[in-house]
Structure 1
Amino acid sequence: MTHPRRTWALIAATTLALSACGAEVETTAEPGGATVTVTNCDEPLTVDGVPQRVVTNDTGITEMMFALGLADRVVGFSAQASKDGDIESSPWKADFESTPDIGDTFTREAVQAANPDFVFAGWNYGYKESTGLTPDWVRSIGATPYQLTEACRQPGTTQRGIMDPLDALYADIENLGDIFDVRDRADDLVAGYREQVADANATAPAGQDPTRMFLFDSATPEPFTAGRTAAPSQIFREAGGSNIFDDIDNSWTTASWEAAAQRDPQAIVIVDYNSGAGETVEAKIEQLRQHPLMSGTTAVRENNITALPYAALVEGPRNPQAVTSVADFLRSKGL
């Protein structure tokens, strides 16, 4: 993947321009410290100095900071009310427990009270016009807004996703590595992620059609699921499957039960929010079994159903392990 355009302005007396891996890097004198420019949602984003006070929204986003060893920079995180299950299963549980929780609802008041200089969220991952908490508002309080790449809006629309989901993860890790001056750590993470994904991909049976897969998040009353640019779509693909809604050019979105049943998924992955009655994996499986259309699908009839935590299925550092988990599940079912 070509690295985004990056500019480092460091304390120096000279200006040096060079290019490598398709990126142009420019170094200039800057008495106030380091200035970095990265590409975020296809736009240049300049950060003056290494951020010291970061506010994040959502578990996957927060885990990216933790994976990079930046827990000490996070002065507040917010996540959905069902976050307890995600935190309990998180490899960074200790970091969550030592980081201030600013509440279940990502609001202007909560963000501003934390006095951030950098806010990491995404469209429908905290940024919403309806709440007034937008990148422009973050700039108005003197902080830098960073947008989750999986949730970048496509030009002229509110549809989200501008690149393959795992490439979005790698881009964000690399950008954060530049912004927080931990690029070596970022590169090591991305190299490890790529290797893990390749190893899982290699287990897919040669010459066999990809397994048709359906991501079931919830139903209100139509199914909320993953389109082509949401993380599950590429997780499935790399594991040897194919998302039955890969033709939807959007990330997390609503489809129809009729379309899901007609596409006859052979395997189903459920989002496990671990949040109690009505949201349990068992309740969702029963909902599928009782549904007049879904009950006849191959996945439901053959009980080819598994579940993964929410944080494994939205963009974040658990995505590569999710590929491995889905691949192991499919192989266990002979798929």
Structure 2
Amino acid sequence: MPRTPRHAVLAPALAAALLLTGCGADVTSDSAEPDRTTVKRCGEPVPYRTPERAVAYEGGSADKLFSLGLADRVHGYVMPPANPPVSESPWAADYARVKMLSDDLLNKELVVDARADLVVAGWNSGFSGQRGITPEILDKLGIQSFLHTESCYNYPGHPERQTPFKALYTDLERLGAIFHVERRADEVVRDLKRRAATVREKAPDGPRVPVFLYDSGTDRPFTAGKQVPPNDIIEAAGGRNVFAGLDERWTQVNWESVAEAEPEVVIILDYGDQPAKKKIEFLKRSAHTRELPAVKRNRFFVLDYNEGISGPRNIDGLEKFGAYLRELPR
């Protein structure tokens, strides 16, 4: 690709920095390397070249890129079985334009073979020291990486803590700066914030309904702590996540603590390979849960997997759950 003249790069980069300074994107132009834009990767300022062959891990990463109109910069995606079919996505046409690279977990060999110049994933949900694919490892290979800010609260060496919805908006702003589509990112973020604010304004009056999110697990359940999007979905809709006190992302608890919380609504996270119907059947027959207020009153809300992991479909999930809570009898 021909190099852009120095003066043509600096002007839009400076404009982007001024535009995004007030919205938390932490973007600066790099006068020493005019073809790069410095953006935070979790808490670490990183200079990025404009990507041309991005690889996205899971629906949330791909959705963020596609929502910014970047399908032509995405080489492919990795989509484990937990994700529902991409044909159900609002960006199904964009998924059809790029390659599905694997239906397994993200790994170093895959992104090297793909000649990726950017990998988008979460910390410990895509990137993993145990599996040998971390931003540090990719840096040494000359492959850029971007982590979901929602996953950064315990990122080694460079942690960053933001509430899940704020982290979503920050990701879109930062990706907008990396790809030089700041105006599009600003439009997308404004619309998501507007929709979220509308749900908050309509939230039911009175005490907040206690809500338990059931991800999976029979011996011990997995649920949502305060560091993942369902916590913000529940809160913004007018409910109360019974495990909001856990400074965790997706985490394991025990059935005794679920029973003590007496949830009046159960959110079922609907995986592609673990259907919500089977999870509901388990909760209805298990001695641990069949007497829960939510189960006895059949108050189950199904949240799509891609509405529960960090991505623009979080706001779709919020709107649906907000409508569900408003319709509950009081």
Q: Which amino acid is 2:236 matched to?
A: E
Q: CA offsets, 1:282-305, max 9 Å, x none?
A: 110011111212111111011110
The one-letter code sitting in structure 1 at the alignment partner of 2:137 is: W
CA distance in 1, matches of 2:320, 2:10: 48
SS in 2 for 1:221: coil
Which moves more between the two structures, 33-42 or 148-157?
148-157
Inter-CA distance 59–185: structure 2 relative to 1 (3 Å threshold): same
Cα offset, 1:252, TM superposition: 1.0
Q: Write the mapping of 1:249-328 to structure 2, written as runs, cut at 5 A.
A: 249-275=247-273, 279-328=274-323
Following superposition of structure 1 onto structure 2, how do residues 127-276 of structure 1 map, counting pairs within 5 Å?
127-154=127-154, 162-206=161-205, 208-219=206-217, 221-275=219-273
Q: Higher relative contact order at CA 8 Å, sep ≥6: structure 1 or structure 2?
A: 2
**CA-based RMSD:** 2.6
Q: 1:27 to 1:263 in 2, by over 3 A?
A: closer
Correspondence for 1:333: 328
1:265-290 deviation line (CA, Å, top 9, x unaligned): 11111111132xxx221110011111
The answer to whether the 8 A contact 1:227-1:249 is kept is yes
How far apart are the structure 2 equivalents of 1:143 and 1:185?
A: 25
Partner of 2:73: 73
Q: Distance in 2 between matches of 1:190 and 1:119?
A: 22
CA distance in 2, matches of 1:290, 1:28: 60
Q: Which consecutive residues of structure 2, in runs of 5 or more, have no partner in the other structure?
A: 1-5
**Structure 2 residue 60 is matched with structure 1 residue 60:** yes
2:39 maps to a residue whose letter is V
Call closer, same or farther: CA 1:328–1:28 in 2, change over 3 Å. Answer: closer
What is the Cα deviation at residue 89 of structure 1?
A: 2.1
The offset of 1:161, in angstroms, is 7.1
The equivalent residue for 2:89 is 90
Unaligned runs of 5+ in 1: 1-7
Q: Which residue of 2 aligns with 1:112?
A: 112
| Aligned partners of 1:86 and 1:310 also within 8 Å | no
Pairwise CA distance, 1:220: 5.1
> What TM-score does the superposition give when structure 1 sets the normalisation length?
0.88
Change (3 A) 1:229 1:157: farther
Task: Note the C-alpha offset of 1:16.
Answer: 7.4
What is the CA distance between 1:124 and its match in structure 2? 2.2
TM-score (norm 2): 0.89
